[in-house]
Amino acid sequence: MAFTHWKQYNVRMKAFFLFACFAFFLMLPVALRAQQELAAPPPSMPDGEVVSEPICFSVINKAPYSVIGSFVTNIYTADDGTKARHRSNFRLEPNYKSEFCTYGPFYEGRKLELVLRTLIPIFSCKTAVTGDILIYGRRKPEGGTDTWAVCL
């Protein structure tokens, strides 16, 4: 009698084990796809992309002095076949905010080059044109300034 009971228990365990394996292998692709979607970075915009609607962003000068700079696009080919870039120069007074809009062409990831300068370039980075771009600066005790931006 006890042997029969053990045999029924063993059959049930085997059935449960087979069901659990089947369910695991059935759900594995779904779980892996969900993990890849969560871990994958957002798709990168191609180098040289031009958009049909302008993308606008703000630049805020948090430095205690005026800042001069430029936004520079990626290289494009003009109608006459020459290579060129769009450049938009700006001057921001302390604690001043200004809005800029662009169609590109962008660097990869919808980025533009930001160049801060005096007579010569003092800071440069490629920054995404989403959200506010903050420019910071400080006056040095020995004279001169440190100026930089938070690039996205």
> In the prediction, which pLDDT does 22 show?
57
Mean pLDDT in residue range 76-100? 92
What is the percentage of the chain residues whose pLDDT exceeds 90?
A: 54
Residue-wise pLDDT for 104-126, tens only, equals 899 998 999 999 999 899 999 99
Give 49-72 pLDDT, tens digit per residue.
888 899 999 999 999 999 999 999
Residue 41: band (very low, low, confident or very high) from pLDDT cuts 50, 70, 90: very low
CB 112 within 8 A of CB 71: yes
- Transcribe the chain into DSSP letters: -HHHHHHHHHHHHHHHHHHHHHHHHHHHHHHHHHHHHHHSPPPPPPTT---SS-EEEEEEE-SSS-EEEEEE---EE-TTS-EE--EEEEEE-TT-EEEEEE--PPBTTTEEEEEEESSSEEEEEEEESSSEEEEEEEE-TTSSEEEEEE--
pLDDT digit string, tens, across residues 92-104: 999 999 999 999 8
- Poorest-confidence range of 3-7, 35-39, 84-88, 95-99? 35-39
- Model's pTM, two decimal places? 0.67
Calculate mean pLDDT across residues 19-48. 54
Strands 111-117 and 67-72: antiparallel
More confident residue, 4 or 16: 16
Where do we find the tokens 């871990």?
39
